[in-house]
Amino acid sequence: MQLDLQPYQACNVLIVDDETMSRMLLSSVLAPHFHCETCDSGQAAIDYCQNHSPDIILLDMNMPDIDGLTVCKKLKSQAHSQNIPVIFVTASIDAEIENACWEVGASDYVLKPITASTLVHRVKNHLQITLRTALLERMTFHDQLTGLYNRMYLNQEIPLMIKQVARDGDNIGLIMADIDHFKLYNDHYGHLQGDECLQRVASIIKCHALRPKDAAIRFGGEEFLVILPYTDKEGTEKVAKDLIAAVFAADLPHAKGVEGKVSLSAGFTALPAAEVIDQGMISFIEHADVPLYKAKKLGRNRCEG
């Protein structure tokens, strides 16, 4: 089966080396195949990865400010950069240094002076692994119709995130949203149009789960969850209201809907993450499901919590 992988030209390779000529040489070899960015120090690389996510990093072993092993160890200790493959570029290597590379989490190493074809093929091989892993994760954890996270992600990954928030002593916000009169929509417009409606609404919901740890999930049918770590009830209510307003403002026609438009009803809650762990995920969802039912009883196109 041919997998639809991101093209190499769209992959971002970060080159980290304190020597200008080395950076230029590596860039000249790799630029015809990949998008290249450079950093001239270990600290600059760490700072770069705070705001960007390169697909792979070529890291010089010996740098004056922070050596490559320390940089790699630091990157592998941080959630936003721990999965980025690191290839060390070094003038020499013995068994002790080689073992140290693996211990800090490196994926590979290449020796100076580099052989251009070897370097390109090594980078491509590691990118293949990374891109395939990312694709399989999308296929496993994402709903095929809407692109949102699915129930498997809810069951397997969300509990890990909740445990982290519990360790930090903070809250988890939860919104449960439902498209109003969706059965009537399908009856009137047909299921293909219904699928398009789900996709349009899902794209709006995704735009309101903005932070890296926020999760927009297709819970089932026309039901959606938005999980907001480090968010209290007031913040969760704001997101819920903004979400409902955005769907209504999209002016998606619904002959049987509220004011002739597609709309959402939602229930919301927020609890300390430790309490969510104690009660379980089903109970947590019920804390939002009950006010969702109330929102529908009170006229729809609104949220309750």
Q: Report if residue 127 sits inside a domain.
A: yes
**Band (219; pLDDT cuts 50, 70, 90):** very high
Q: Assess whether 175 and 114 both reside in one domain.
A: no
Q: Report if residue 213 sits inside a domain.
A: yes
Are 270 and 173 contacting, i.e. CB atoms less than 8 angstroms apart?
A: yes
pLDDT number for residue 68: 93
Residues paired with 224 in a beta bridge: 177, 218
Last residue of a domain, one of 87, 104, 139: 139
pLDDT number for residue 5: 62
Which of 137-141, 191-195, 235-239 has the least mean pLDDT?
137-141
Give pLDDT tens digits for 163-208.
999 999 999 999 999 999 999 999 999 999 999 999 999 999 999 9
Q: Report if residue 78 sits inside a domain.
A: yes
CATH number at residue 61: 3.40.50.2300
> Smallest Cα–Cα separation from 273: which of 305, 230, 234, 240?
230
**Pairing relationship of beta strands 215-220 and 86-90 according to DSSP bridges:** unpaired
Q: Report if residue 145 sits inside a domain.
A: no
CATH number at residue 174: 3.30.70.270
Last residue of a domain, one of 105, 139, 173: 139
Q: Assess whether 83 and 159 both reside in one domain.
A: no
pLDDT number for residue 4: 53
**What are the structure tokens assigned to 296, written together?**
């529908």
Q: Assess whether 177 and 116 both reside in one domain.
A: no
Angstrom distance (rounded) from CA 246 to CA 201 = 9
Residues paired with 59 in a beta bridge: 16, 88
Q: Exposed (0-12), middle (13-18) or buried (19+): which is 98, by Cβ within 10 Å?
A: middle
Last residue of a domain, one of 118, 139, 160: 139
Give pLDDT tens digits for 4-33.
567 888 899 999 999 999 999 999 999 999
Give pLDDT tens digits for 251-293.
999 999 999 999 999 999 999 999 999 999 999 999 999 999 9
pLDDT number for residue 212: 78
Q: Report if residue 72 sits inside a domain.
A: yes
Q: Assess whether 96 and 207 both reside in one domain.
A: no
Q: Assess whether 68 and 202 both reside in one domain.
A: no
**What are the structure tokens assigned to 157, written together?**
């990954």
Q: Assess whether 157 and 253 both reside in one domain.
A: yes
Q: Assess whether 160 and 67 both reside in one domain.
A: no
Residue with the two structure tokens 């794209």: 203
pLDDT at 302 over 80: yes
Q: Assess whether 117 and 166 both reside in one domain.
A: no
**Using the 8-state DSSP alphabet, how is residue 142 labeled?**
B
Angstrom distance (rounded) from CA 225 to CA 239 = 12
Find the domain containing 256 and state its range. 151-304
**Whats the size of the chain, residue-wise?**
305
pLDDT number for residue 2: 43
Residues paired with 16 in a beta bridge: 39, 59
- Half-sphere exposure for 234 (CA within 13 Å, toward CB): 0
pLDDT above 90 coverage of the chain, percent:
78
Q: Report if residue 1 sits inside a domain.
A: no
Angstrom distance (rounded) from CA 179 to CA 296 = 10
Tally of structural domains, the chain: 2
> Smallest Cα–Cα separation from 202: which of 284, 288, 144, 256?
144
Q: Assess whether 127 and 27 both reside in one domain.
A: yes
Q: Report if residue 191 sits inside a domain.
A: yes
Q: Assess whether 135 and 159 both reside in one domain.
A: no
Q: Assess whether 113 and 216 both reside in one domain.
A: no
pLDDT number for residue 1: 39
pLDDT at 3 over 60: no
Residue 144 CB contacts under 8 Å (≥ 6 apart), including other chains: none
Active-site position among 96, 103, 222, 237: 222
Give pLDDT tens digits for 44-96.
999 999 889 999 999 999 898 899 999 999 999 887 888 899 999 988 788 88
Q: Report if residue 188 sits inside a domain.
A: yes
196 is a catalytic site residue: no
Q: Assess whether 231 and 282 both reside in one domain.
A: yes
**Band (133; pLDDT cuts 50, 70, 90):** confident
Which of 57-61, 133-137, 156-160, 214-218 has the least mean pLDDT?
133-137
- Half-sphere exposure for 14 (CA within 13 Å, toward CB): 25
Give the count of beta carbons closer than 10 Å to the beta carbon of residue 77.
11
